[in-house]
Amino acid sequence: MTGLVEIVRQNPKLAAYVAVMAPLLTLVLLKPKTGAHWFARLEARLAALAGRQRTVVFLMFLTGLAGSTLAGLVAGVPAPRGHDEFSYALAGDTFASGRVTNPPHPMWIHFESFHIIQQPTYMSKYPPGNGLLLALGQVLTGTQASGLWLGAGLLCAAMTWMLQAWFSPSWALFGGAAAALHFGIYSYWTQTYWGGALACVGGALVLGAARRITDDPRPAGALWLGSGLAILANTRPFEGLALSLPVAAILSVWALRQRRFPLGLLLRRCGAPLLLVLALTGGAMAYYNHRVTGNSLRIPYQVYASTYDTISAIGRKVDAGRVYRNSSMQAYYGGWVEASKRQETGWMRLWRDVRYRAEVIWDYYIGPVFTLPLLLSPAAAGQPWIAVAWAAMAFFLAFLTLSTWMTAQYIAPATGLIWILMLAGAQRLKGLKWRGRPLGLLYLRAIPAALLVLLAFRVAQPRLFPRIQWIDQKMRIQRALEASGQRHLVVVRYGPRHSNSREWVYNRADIDGAPVVWAHDLGPEENARLLAYMKGRKAWLLEADARVPELRPFPDVTETARK
């Protein structure tokens, strides 16, 4: 029994998959007519509900909001833990404070950290969309985590709304509920600060609006399309472009080939509202860029890349000559350069990238439950709009090969496309029979139950198999210092074998107003300047790579300068 527990502890996701899929497949093969009468009655009631489409969208929003909130409270309220998360949290804190950005700090060289610009202003390098969502949560409830849960509600609602334009109301309800259970309520999009949910919302609005426009071109559809494009431009602009280009091509071809509506009428009904939204979005983005970088056409990401990155995000260009002020960033970005020297080139690198990206997509978006429906999806490609979705997905993935990096949130704008293809395969699965036995129908009916079990496992996993991480030590120290009621400065010193994924130096938007300030150890002379500037704070030295990181009083300023 102990051995089994250890296996589950080491491979929790695999154990959950086996625990769900083994009984599911056994039931489908041996008892394919299980619960047929009960399922038929339930489906009839759900079909009646599905016909009330606006009500369904609202209910899905409440499901995502309430479900993710409850799951977060059970598993543990999310807090930033990684490089990207702290950057997003800084943006959220800045916006919640009523500022667009923050002035550069006089001692900024002590506060340099990953994915944050320090000059010409102090701000996150990322587009403002996710930061605004976190800020909304901070303003409404005092915690940024509630912004994540609000994003979960928007995700569930937007996915359902999109599917209603592509499928019948019943299939849209099934697909929306599946999205909520699979990644809407509890996933790293909705329970960490990495982002992804809002980009998914933007993509869903674009796909749902585009399909509605082709059925009935009205200003409302154009406004939703523009809103989706605005969200993509301010969350994941590169990947949003990869989705927007095929959608623009599809709408253009449709507008030129259809005969129901004159082109002038289409331009008045849809073109004008769309241009209005895009113009307002462009103006707001230009204003934001001007405030943060001093140049309306220069985004913060570009400032950070030109200051710190050693490998470009597009094209993999290497700049090996950069020198950094702190050892953590030097090791991190220097490691990029060394890793690039060991990587394959040409077709080998392309094959490795394709394989890795396929694994990422399968792991987060599909998993074992949706593998069979997706495998059956090509059989539905004879339907014109499903063929269009396949073409758009192929373009999106090909476009993303230009990107140097890849994680699941990069695919977020195309989540709706993946779900459209999956649902088309699910329709084929419904009619799948073997020797007259309805194997596919029972499999389809069992999907929500399987997803619910996997969801429960994900929520319970942090409690069942707790793992103490280094960030928990930082949070413990942070809480203890804040509880003292005094103002503190913590100078962080790293050892020679420091893991650069463990970055302690991240601060609030208002550094001087924060109860606890974290700073890099930059040597006696620079440390003396920092302590002189922050002379009203109690100064501590933290040996971050000690077995158990603990604070000790920082040496006297004059003694430090003398050394």
The per-residue pLDDT for range 57-99, each reduced to its tens digit, is: 999 999 999 999 999 999 999 999 889 999 999 999 999 999 9
- Please state the domain count of the chain: 2
CA angle 90, 224, 129 (to 5 degrees): 5
Residue 135 domain-assigned (yes or no): no
Out of 369, 404, 427, pick the residue that ends a domain. 427
State which residues form the domain around 423: 356-427
Same domain? For 477 and 554 the reply is yes
pLDDT in tens, the chain (563 residues): 555 555 555 666 767 777 787 887 787 777 878 888 888 898 899 999 999 999 999 999 999 999 999 999 999 999 998 899 999 999 999 999 999 999 999 999 999 999 999 999 999 999 999 999 999 999 999 999 999 999 999 999 999 999 999 999 999 999 999 999 999 999 999 999 999 999 999 999 999 999 999 999 999 999 999 999 999 999 999 999 999 999 999 999 999 888 888 888 888 999 999 999 999 999 999 999 999 999 999 999 999 999 999 988 887 888 887 889 998 998 888 887 777 776 766 677 778 888 888 999 999 999 999 999 999 999 888 899 999 999 999 999 999 988 888 889 999 999 999 999 999 999 999 988 877 788 888 889 999 999 999 999 899 888 777 776 788 899 999 999 999 999 999 999 998 888 888 899 999 999 999 999 999 999 999 999 999 999 999 999 999 998 888 899 998 544 444 44
For 546, phi then psi, to 5°, come to: -65, 160
Residue 54 domain-assigned (yes or no): no
> What's the pTM value of the predicted model, to 2 decimals?
0.93
For 54, phi then psi, to 5°, come to: -65, -40
Residue 460 domain-assigned (yes or no): no
Out of 373, 397, 427, pick the residue that ends a domain. 427
Out of 375, 392, 427, pick the residue that ends a domain. 427
Q: Could you tell me the two tokens for 68? A: 């993710």
Residue 175 domain-assigned (yes or no): no
Residue 498 domain-assigned (yes or no): yes
Q: How far from 354 is each of 65, 268, 392, 403, 518, CA to CA, in Å?
A: 35, 43, 17, 12, 40
Same domain? For 474 and 539 the reply is yes
Same domain? For 478 and 421 the reply is no
Residue 505 domain-assigned (yes or no): yes
Residue 37 domain-assigned (yes or no): no
DSSP 123: E
Same domain? For 414 and 480 the reply is no
Strand-pair partners of 314:
403
Same domain? For 558 and 496 the reply is yes
Residue 324 domain-assigned (yes or no): no
Distance, in Å, from the CA atom of 453 to the CA atom of 455, rounded to the nearest integer, reads 5
Distance, in Å, from the CA atom of 144 to the CA atom of 187, rounded to the nearest integer, reads 16
